[in-house]
Amino acid sequence: MIRLDNISKQNGHQILFIDASMGIQKGEKVGLVGPNGAGKTTLFRMMAREDQPDDGQVSNDAGMTIGYFSQDVGEMSGLSAVAAVMDGVGPVSALAAEMATLEAAMVDPDQADDMDAVIERYGEVQGRFQELDGYALEARAREVLAGLSFSQERMDGDVGLLSGGWKMRVALARILLMRPDAMLLDEPSNHLDLESLIWLEAFLKGYEGALLMTSHDREFMNRIVGKIVEIDGGSLTTYSGNYDFYEQQRALNEAQRQAQFERQQAMLAKEIKFIERFKARASHAAQVQSRVKKLDKIERVEPPKRRQYVQFEFRSPPRSGDDVANFRNVHKGYGSQPIYTGLDFKVRRKERWCVLGANGAGKSTLLKMVAGETEPDQGTVTVGSNIRMGYFAQHSMDLLDGDDTIFESLDESFPQAGQGALKSLAGCFGFSGDDVEKPCRVLSGGEKARLVMAKMLFDPPNFLVLDEPTNHLDMATKEMLVAALSEFEGTMLFVSHDRHFLAALSNRVLELTPDGVHEFGGGYTEYVARTGQEAPGLHPGG
């Protein structure tokens, strides 16, 4: 289907691949993993023929179609979301756009004189549209967009007015509607809410072509792929199994390699000791010579390349009162759209509430009211005594000063902390060595999120309010965060679409549905077991 044979690729001074090979067959679903900057996107671009290897060959079956979804969404405007999605499928979208123009002309009194020509052209265009099965295609485009949480209004609105996250979904829908022979999906799970994520998972499971994808969502990866390709140090290694299997296998290989390295080191030390001891004695000259030759011939075992993960440890936050937050008879709406009507809800010390609900159900609004960023229309939201709140939202990242370096940003927040403490804090959140000298303006979304999180957790609050904290984080940082927050002694109220994060950290669930607000004692795992669904509004098992 698609093969890479002995490819080498250099990017500036950085060598990404050296004699690397891999292949994907029809029907295979493969996850691509590797540290940031290892070359995952370059690999996708070579497969999609947007880039060439310096050496080696990329080949695929004759006539096969490839759909490539990347984070780099091009300019989109002037079309409705549904037309933009159909636009990826060829001439059908041009015909749909012309039909819309002609339909507008038919009801325009200024064009009455040309009506015969307009109607005749409309007949031709509509005939061709039907021949190409255009009506079925539009229905399918709407189905895909609905799966990705688009309302009818949003589907028919100008795609140019959508935020970056929604444009990403349009670009993804375009590839899904194409149903190409092979899909290359670079982080398709970014920017998706839980409902869209679960829908996409089902879609990809049912897709019969070849799939290569990256994702920072462990659960999503586990459920879809049956094979992992790892990029590490310029080579590609294939593991058969899902992400969990790959991690176990990698740890096992690392342990075996370490043992092998240590055995060889012990043997070398013994030989060198013998040579040193007897090299001056003529009686042992032959033995010493033969051992020196033997040492020269031995192929040295390299120690395993260890990924450096520094664990973050919380200081103990100050103890809060037992009542952490209290909503009494809260009403809140936007325009004529009510979101909460008479909400009563209490958060008590050490509870960890995850808030679930479809798009627009009011998850972020709830968190904003607790954080005092927005007021209820009616009723009260009060925060208890001795509460120190840490609030993380997507806009927190816009508050960083672009001219500050990472280190300066930390130093301004904690002038008393001392260089060593701040450097080790930066290291915990993935900024090592010279990284701390990067100015904030050049940081990626993930780097900004890590910096904001580091600033929030260093001097820990006792009440964490987190809105999608894992949105831009890679798998390793998420694991570190989950491990750190598991040890957190305070109270949490959070929204996340990452099921691993939800399951590991929640002990209560607040479910927002059109029928009202439901509370579940027990965390996300118990919620799934009791309701038979992974998110509100999905049918059991769906």
The 10s digit of each residue's pLDDT in 326-355 is 999 999 998 888 999 999 999 999 999 999
What Cα–Cα distance (Å) separates residue 14 from each residue in 18, 36, 39, 230, 233? Answer: 11, 13, 10, 18, 11
pLDDT > 90? residue 147? yes
Q: Label residue 254 exposed, middle or buried (CB < 10 Å: 0-12, 13-18, 19+).
A: middle
Q: Give the C-alpha separation, 320 to 389, whole Å.
A: 10
What pLDDT is recorded for position 327? 97
What pLDDT is recorded for position 494? 97
Q: Label residue 122 exposed, middle or buried (CB < 10 Å: 0-12, 13-18, 19+).
A: middle
What Cα–Cα distance (Å) separates residue 57 from each residue in 3, 60, 185? Answer: 8, 10, 21
SS3 track for 407-474: HHHHHHHCCCCCHHHHHHHHHHCCCCHHHHHCEHHHCCHHHHHHHHHHHHHHCCCCEEEEECCCCCCC
Amino acid symbol at 312 = F
What pLDDT is recorded for position 542? 37
**Torsion angles phi and psi, residue 526, rounded to 5:** -65, -35
Residue, of 36 and 333, whose pLDDT is higher: 333
Q: Give the C-alpha separation, 242 to 429, whole Å.
A: 26
Contacts of 45 (CB under 8 A, 6+ apart): 51, 68, 70
What pLDDT is recorded for position 311? 72
Q: Which of 52-61, 68-77, 278-287 has the highest mean pLDDT?
A: 52-61
DSSP for 110-171 reads GGGGGHHHHHHHHHHHHHHHHHTTHHHHHHHHHHHHHHTT--HHHHHSBGGGS-HHHHHHHH
Contacts of 248 (CB under 8 A, 6+ apart): none
Kindly indicate the confidence band of residue 403, based on its pLDDT and cuts at 50, 70 and 90: very high
**Torsion angles phi and psi, residue 350, rounded to 5:** 75, 0
Burial string for 199-235 (b: 16+ CB within 10 Å, else e) reads: bbbeebeebebbbbbbbbbbbbbbbbbebbbbbeebe
Cα–Cα nearest to 333, from 345, 342, 344, 322: 342
For residues 477 and 309, the answer to whether their CB atoms sit within 8 Å is: no
For residues 512 and 332, the answer to whether their CB atoms sit within 8 Å is: no
Cα–Cα nearest to 291, from 266, 268, 316: 268
Cα–Cα nearest to 24, from 51, 50, 54, 46: 46
- pTM: predicted TM-score of the whole model, two decimal places: 0.81
Q: What is the pLDDT of residues 234-264, one digit of tens each?
A: 899 999 999 999 999 988 988 898 899 899 9
What pLDDT is recorded for position 281? 83
What value does the mean pLDDT take over residues 44-62? 92
Chain mean pLDDT for the chain: 89
Return the structure tokens found at 275: 């040579």
The share of the chain scoring above pLDDT 70, in percent, equals 97
Q: Give the C-alpha separation, 406 to 408, whole Å.
A: 6
Three-state DSSP class for 525? helix
pLDDT > 50? residue 470? yes
Return the structure tokens found at 534: 């992974």
Cα 71 to chain centroid distance, Å, stands at: 11
What Cα–Cα distance (Å) separates residue 241 from each residue in 29, 190, 224, 486? Answer: 10, 23, 10, 28
Return the structure tokens found at 52: 């060439």
The share of the chain scoring above pLDDT 90, in percent, equals 54
Amino acid symbol at 494 = F
For residues 165 and 172, the answer to whether their CB atoms sit within 8 Å is: no
Residue, of 324 and 460, whose pLDDT is higher: 324
